[in-house]
Structure 1
Amino acid sequence: MFAAYVIVTVLTSVLTGVAATTYLIGHDYPKAQVDMKRLPRWWMPVLGTLLAAGSLGLLAGFAVPLLGTLAAGGLVLYFVGALIAHLRVGSRNLVGWAVFFVSSVAALALHLAHDGG
Structure 2
Amino acid sequence: MSVARVTLNLLAALFTAIAAVTYLIDHPYPRAQTEMKRLPLTWMPRLGAVLAAGSLGLLAGFVVPPLGTFAALGLVLYFVGAFIAHLRVGSRNLAGWAAFFVTVVATFAVNVIHHGFW
The alignment's TM-score, normalised by the length of structure 2, stands at 0.98
Deviation string 1:66-107 (CA, Å, 9 cap, x unpaired) is: 100000000000000000000000000000000000000000
Q: 2:61 maps to which residue?
A: 61
Task: Give me the CA root mean square deviation.
Answer: 0.8
In structure 1, stretches of 5+ residues that fail to align are none
5 Å-filtered alignment, 1:73-92, equals: 73-92=73-92
Find out whether 1:8 has 2:38 as its counterpart. no
Deviation string 1:27-49 (CA, Å, 9 cap, x unpaired) is: 00000000000000000000000
Percent identity between matched residues is 65
Find out whether 1:39 has 2:39 as its counterpart. yes
| In 2: Cα distance, 1:16 partner to 1:102 partner | 13
The alignment's TM-score, normalised by the length of structure 1, stands at 0.98
Paired residue type of 1:74: G
Deviation string 1:40-71 (CA, Å, 9 cap, x unpaired) is: 00000000000000000000000001100000
Paired residue type of 2:86: H
1:42 aligns to what SS in structure 2?
Answer: helix
1:31 aligns to what SS in structure 2?
Answer: helix
